[in-house]
Amino acid sequence: MEPSIAVAVTLVAAAAIAFELNISSAIVEILAGVLLALWIGDVAQLGWVNFLANLGMLGLMFMAGFEVDVHRLRSTWKASLAIGCCSLAVPLVGVFALARFAFGLDLLPSGVVAIALSTTSLALVYHALKERGLLEHDLGQTVLAAASVVDVLSMVSLALLLGEAGWGTAIFLLVAIPLVIGLPRLGRWIFRRYRYSLAEFELRFLLVLLVSMGFMAEEIGGIHPATVAFGLGLLLSEVVDAHDEVEDKLKGIVFSLFAPIFFLHAGAKFDVSLVDAGVARDAAIFLVVATTLKFLGSALPARRMLNLPGRFIGLVFNYRLSFGIIAATVGLNMEVLTHQTYAVILLVVVCSAALPVIFLRDRPVELER
């Protein structure tokens, strides 16, 4: 079968399977990418798949920044900061020490592994809270804000770790800072002026901005495009939030096309031939350490300091997925990670994303108090 047709059919089939099995479509898309690479072989090298996968990464990071509610963070900042910082710091230190001293990785790869396995998927936390009707309660608001703190700190950590400051960075910042200052005002004017345009000008404005700033950062900035996309989403969240129809259309484009291709591409880069007993053992060790420390780092401050349901928060914060895969992909593309280490991270991220689903299925949060 023609590779491009196979990719298209696989994307549709993955969505149907995820819906029927009631699991995250991202997990199915990653597994589909692995199988597709085994069948076809060069799927990850297709030009259009590479391009759309990069857009998928930018889109996911933009939506992650977009979902950070600045007003909510202001109102719950003490609780959110306490849970968020502990939830990231405890597994970050533990996984870094494991990678550096037990597995002998260099400092940079150890840092990337630690960030990838210590983050929390804000989108999956949001989905878990929405399923249980907690978004309108104080508990849901605090948990979501704390997950936002983890996202922000993870993004900052990755940017500091992999950033390569130089003259290109200075040029990029000189261009970007005035744009950033004026973007919210420009965005509000555009959204008012072209709200009912059949040309979907507001949506086009966001997509062009995202692509141009992201690729400009990649070419001259020394700042990874994922960092820029996250910052843009954070910056424009209040502007877009007042226009539900634009938000829905943007999510539709990102989560129906760009993100699925990103996850499929990430799976296609997974080299099954590298998965031997050693890689499986390493993944199992990292999985146990990362999930245990993540649980303790989230549950203990939630229960002891804030009297919140610690077991629920400890489990739901073990959702990784999107940002964990992005961190691993960035590390692999920058040749910081080997394909073996990338395989270990991908195995841990996919397995850990399934754990909260298993342990929280059909359990009301009140049982956790």
Taking the C-alpha atoms of residue 217 and residue 211, their distance in angstroms, rounded to an integer, is 10
Enter the tokens of residue 250.
Answer: 């943007």
Q: What is the pLDDT of residue 102?
A: 94
Q: Among 45-54, 205-214, 260-269, which is the least confidently predicted range?
A: 205-214
Q: What is the pLDDT of residue 367?
A: 37
Determine what percent of the chain is predicted with pLDDT higher than 90.
20
Q: What is the pLDDT of residue 191?
A: 67
Spatial CA neighbour of 57 closest among 173, 155, 178, 124: 155
Torsions phi, psi for 137 (to 5 deg):
-100, 160
Identify the band that residue 105 occupies on the pLDDT scale cut at 50, 70 and 90. Answer: very high
Q: Higher pLDDT residue, 39 or 44?
A: 39
Taking the C-alpha atoms of residue 36 and residue 31, their distance in angstroms, rounded to an integer, is 9
Longest CA–CA separation in the chain, Å: 60
Q: What is the pLDDT of residue 97?
A: 97
Q: pLDDT for 277-330, tens place per residue?
A: 999 999 999 999 999 999 999 999 888 777 777 888 888 898 887 788 888 988
* Mean local confidence (pLDDT), 159-175: 60
Determine what percent of the chain is predicted with pLDDT higher than 70.
78
* Mean local confidence (pLDDT), 37-45: 77
Interacting residues of 171 by C-beta distance below 8 A, sequence separation 6+: 220, 221
Identify the band that residue 218 occupies on the pLDDT scale cut at 50, 70 and 90. Answer: low
Q: What is the pLDDT of residue 368?
A: 43
For the chain, the distance separating the N- and C-terminal CA atoms, rounded to the nearest angstrom, is 54
Q: Among 142-156, 268-282, 338-352, which is the least confidently predicted range?
A: 142-156
Identify the band that residue 115 occupies on the pLDDT scale cut at 50, 70 and 90. Answer: very high
166 pLDDT more than 60: no
CB 87 within 8 A of CB 298: yes
Cβ burial of 142 (10 Å; 0-12, 13-18, 19+) is buried
Q: Higher pLDDT residue, 277 or 131?
A: 277
55 pLDDT more than 80: yes
Q: Give ∠ CA 45-50-56 in degrees, rounded to 5.
A: 150
* Mean local confidence (pLDDT), 63-90: 80
Find the DSSP H helices in the chain: 3-21, 25-39, 47-66, 70-75, 77-97, 107-116, 122-131, 138-162, 167-193, 201-216, 225-241, 244-253, 259-268, 277-300, 310-316, 322-333, 339-360
Q: Among 230-234, 242-246, 282-286, 324-328, which is the least confidently predicted range?
A: 242-246
Q: Higher pLDDT residue, 45 or 175?
A: 45
Taking the C-alpha atoms of residue 68 and residue 57, their distance in angstroms, rounded to an integer, is 17
* Ordered structural domains, the chain, with CATH: 3-368 (1.20.1530.20)
Taking the C-alpha atoms of residue 240 and residue 202, their distance in angstroms, rounded to an integer, is 9
Identify the band that residue 362 occupies on the pLDDT scale cut at 50, 70 and 90. Answer: low
Q: What is the pLDDT of residue 1?
A: 60
Taking the C-alpha atoms of residue 134 and residue 126, their distance in angstroms, rounded to an integer, is 9
Torsions phi, psi for 30 (to 5 deg):
-65, -50
Q: Higher pLDDT residue, 177 or 14?
A: 14
- Altogether, the residues listed in the chain come to a count of 369
Q: What mean pLDDT, rounded, does the chain reach?
A: 80
45 pLDDT more than 80: no
Enter the tokens of residue 268.
Answer: 């296609």
Taking the C-alpha atoms of residue 299 and residue 314, their distance in angstroms, rounded to an integer, is 4
* Mean local confidence (pLDDT), 73-98: 88
Enter the tokens of residue 114.
Answer: 């630690």
Q: Higher pLDDT residue, 254 or 159?
A: 254
Q: Higher pLDDT residue, 137 or 37?
A: 37
Q: What is the pLDDT of residue 101?
A: 95
The one-letter code for the residue type at 223 is I
Q: What is the pLDDT of residue 59?
A: 84
Interacting residues of 362 by C-beta distance below 8 A, sequence separation 6+: none
* Mean local confidence (pLDDT), 60-71: 74
Torsions phi, psi for 163 (to 5 deg):
-70, 145
